[in-house]
Chain A
Amino acid sequence: MRIGAVFSQADAGTDPVAIRQWARDVESAGFEHILAYDHILGASAAKLGPGPFGSFPDAPYTEQHNFHEILTLFSHLAAVTETVSFVTSVLVLPQRQTAVAAKQISTIDLLSGGRLRVAVGVGWNPAEYAGLGVDFADRTAILEEQITVMRRLWSEPLVTFEGRFHHLDRVGVNPLPTRPIPLMIGCGGSDAVLKRVVRCADGWMPLLIPGLDSVSFAAGVKRLRELATDAGRDPATLSIHGRVYLGGGPGGGDGWQAGLEEALELGCSDCSIGFNRMAFPGRSHAEHLDAIVGAKEQIDAIVGRSS
């Protein structure tokens, strides 16, 4: 299982020297990847109104929260690192233009020497969609068509495609990536969304909030594999990217070791380690990383025991 570190968007600050150092420190501590969340636009609390938003009881972010644009961030960090990979969690794809995202992802793939993996999802914020000129109601249908179009743009020099949301006439994102870019879907655990993972994606990044989502991580993984088998797909072809937070998850209790062990038992390909910023407000991004790096030995012992 590959272990990565979560880049805490809201705490990272804007000092580019510190941000580059953070990435180098993650790499030198032996983490395999850096994972970061995506928001382009924030809306005021008044505009957002009361929740829930997806599984969130209230809006987790407003226009006051700092967010780095993740694709330019990853391109920048790729230039100052050598081995660490980059994972989006999740790229809110339907609110972005497909060919722009496909081109940016292929550009990063080539500039980083194949160190980008993407998890895409539909997000939760209708105001963000509105600002980007995309109908929130169409988000899942758009996402499915986008995955088809992106994969064709990544593998064919010239693409012609007539769909519900895309009209491409002999265009291409030359130069093509040198490899198939791994594409996961990040989503909850209902049958409808897990079937989409089986149908469209290389893997599943569960976005489950303990205590708020009705589906547990273990039940979701079990169900995903059943659905894959039902659809005639070998469940082993679906990677699963888990996540644990140090300092207690939103569900309470500092059970990250148990969370990591569960990810191993469930056969996850990846697990990212984050720091629960809500439980320790005011800690800096560097302090988050200190905690994550400080746990590395224990993480390695747990992961190593199973291998």
Chain B
Amino acid sequence: MTGLRVGVDIPYLASPAEIRDFVQAVEELGFDHIGFSEHICSTTDTVFPGPMFTFDEPWREAFTLAAFVAACTSRIEINPAMVLLPLYQPVLAAKLAAEVASLSGHRLRIAASITWNDRECEALGVDPRTRGARFEEQVEVIRRLWTERAVDHDGRFFQLHQTGISPRPAQPIPIWFGAGEMPKGAVPSALAIDRAGRLADGFKFAAPTYLDQAQLERSVGALRAAVAAAGRDPQQYGIEVRMIVQATTPDDYAGVVARAKSIGATHLGVANRIAGGTVDDQIAVCARFAELTRELWAQQQ
């Protein structure tokens, strides 16, 4: 097993100059990936506890922000997470992702989920009751559009006849999944684990799951079993766990890295989005984490 790939999130920064400063600073600090979430149509209600993740945060459309970040950076992996995939026409999502992958020099890793907000779904013309089935068909259609010149597809939700995107990605674009209901500790359901085992290139756990290591180990075990049951190799499957900066003190940062490695995670994401303060304060939070743990990232387990 190789070392751990460690990344951070783009905080809710209002100005493009702040976004640029932040992403360039964390790339310079040596982080491997940078994540950011999206909403297309926000509503004022939320499933998240507390004052965070509210309507008033400056949400961006994931691929548009990804394209901007790609131009500001040169090395760091770009990880829109979660892409609320059922909200998109799959052909458009395939096209957007292919464009960002190309413009970024193949630094795109998508993490997709089925969304939670029914009103957001309805505003996009999507029936929230069928979003899971729709999501599965989307992933299939998107991967075919990335690899075939002209696609024929006659599915439950989508029909394509001799149509394709050009240019297609020069390399496979990883699609990871994420799932877990926030009021239930963000633990992924059996259905979500089965789906991710069959269809995803990796799984990005929601941030709160690291707070219960025993439960996280059970989820990872179930995920590996689902991957194997689908006839796939669990050793080739990505697993990202996360750490919430305001829920962990710096003296435990090394412990977080060790526990992530102990369950065989390939990636660790620092959930720093709501650390607060100026952009320099936010960079300092990331710098502190890097300073205290960097020498552990690459160490073999």
Binding between chains A and B: yes
Task: Judge whether A131 and B105 touch: CB under 8 Å.
Answer: no
Shortest Cβ gap from B79 to chain A (Å):
16
Partner among A68, A97, A132, A174 whose Cβ is within 8 Å of the Cβ of B42:
A174
Q: A86 interface residue, CB < 8 Å from B?
A: no
Interface of A is mostly: mixed
Shortest Cβ gap from A43 to chain B (Å):
5
- Bound form: Cα–Cα A40–B99 in Å: 11
Task: Judge whether B16 and A110 touch: CB under 8 Å.
Answer: yes
Q: Which 4 A-B pairs have the closest CB atoms?
A: A79-B71, A47-B162, A171-B41, A72-B67
Residues of B near A16 (CB, < 8 A) are 70, 102-105
Task: Judge whether A173 and B40 touch: CB under 8 Å.
Answer: yes
Give the interface of A toward B (CB within 8 A). 14, 16, 19-20, 40-44, 46-47, 63-69, 71-73, 75-80, 96-97, 99-100, 103-104, 107-108, 110-113, 127-128, 130-133, 153, 158, 166-175
Q: B235 interface residue, CB < 8 Å from A?
A: no
Residues of A near B158 (CB, < 8 A) are 133
Q: B5 interface residue, CB < 8 Å from A?
A: no
Residues of B near A42 (CB, < 8 A) are 163-166
- Interface hub of B44, B98, B158, B162 (most chain A Cβ within 10 A): B162
- Interface hub of A104, A112, A153, A171 (most chain B Cβ within 10 A): A171
Q: B120 interface residue, CB < 8 Å from A?
A: yes
Task: Judge whether B100 and A66 touch: CB under 8 Å.
Answer: no
Partner among A73, A96, A168, A172 whose Cβ is within 8 Å of the Cβ of B55:
A172
Task: Judge whether B123 and A63 touch: CB under 8 Å.
Answer: no
Known: A128-B163, A132-B92. A100 touches B124 (CB 8 A): yes
Q: B289 interface residue, CB < 8 Å from A?
A: no
Closest residue of chain A to B41 (Cβ to Cβ) is A171
Known: A96-B89, A103-B40, A104-B61. A111 touches B104 (CB 8 A): no
- Bound form: Cα–Cα A78–B66 in Å: 12
Shortest Cβ gap from B276 to chain A (Å):
18
Shortest Cβ gap from A104 to chain B (Å):
5
B residues 22-58 near A (Cβ < 8 Å) are 40-44, 55-58
Known: A41-B91, A76-B67. A167 touches B161 (CB 8 A): no
Residues of A near B95 (CB, < 8 A) are 40-41, 69
What 5 new A-B contacts, CB under 8 Å, besides A42-B165, A173-B41? A40-B92, A66-B166, A99-B40, A111-B60, A170-B43
Partner among A44, A67, A97, A158 whose Cβ is within 8 Å of the Cβ of B89:
A97
Task: Judge whether A72 and B163 touch: CB under 8 Å.
Answer: no
Closest residue of chain B to A64 (Cβ to Cβ) is B166
Interface of B is mostly: mixed
Total B residues in contact with A, Cβ cutoff 8 Å: 59
Task: Judge whether B165 and A41 touch: CB under 8 Å.
Answer: yes
Shortest Cβ gap from A94 to chain B (Å):
12
- Listed by A's residue number, 10 A-B pairs whose Cβ atoms lie within 8 Å are A44-B163, A47-B162, A76-B68, A97-B125, A100-B88, A107-B60, A111-B16, A128-B163, A170-B44, A172-B55
B residues 80-117 near A (Cβ < 8 Å) are 87-89, 91-92, 95-96, 98-100, 102-105
Task: Judge whether B41 and A127 touch: CB under 8 Å.
Answer: no
Shortest Cβ gap from B209 to chain A (Å):
28
- Bound form: Cα–Cα A63–B165 in Å: 6
Task: Judge whether B122 and A167 touch: CB under 8 Å.
Answer: yes
Residues of A near B56 (CB, < 8 A) are 174
Residues of B near A172 (CB, < 8 A) are 41-43, 55
Residues of B near A80 (CB, < 8 A) are 71
Task: Judge whether A63 and B166 touch: CB under 8 Å.
Answer: yes
Task: Judge whether A47 and B42 touch: CB under 8 Å.
Answer: no
Residues of A near B149 (CB, < 8 A) are 63-64
Task: Judge whether A75 and B65 touch: CB under 8 Å.
Answer: yes
Residues of A near B60 (CB, < 8 A) are 107, 111
Task: Judge whether B166 and A112 touch: CB under 8 Å.
Answer: no
Task: Judge whether A73 and B99 touch: CB under 8 Å.
Answer: yes
Task: Judge whether A100 and B40 touch: CB under 8 Å.
Answer: yes
Shortest Cβ gap from B90 to chain A (Å):
9
Partner among A65, A72, A97, A107 whose Cβ is within 8 Å of the Cβ of B88:
A97
Known: A41-B163, A131-B160, A132-B92. A175 touches B71 (CB 8 A): no
Residues of A near B123 (CB, < 8 A) are 99, 166-169, 171
- Bound form: Cα–Cα A148–B104 in Å: 34
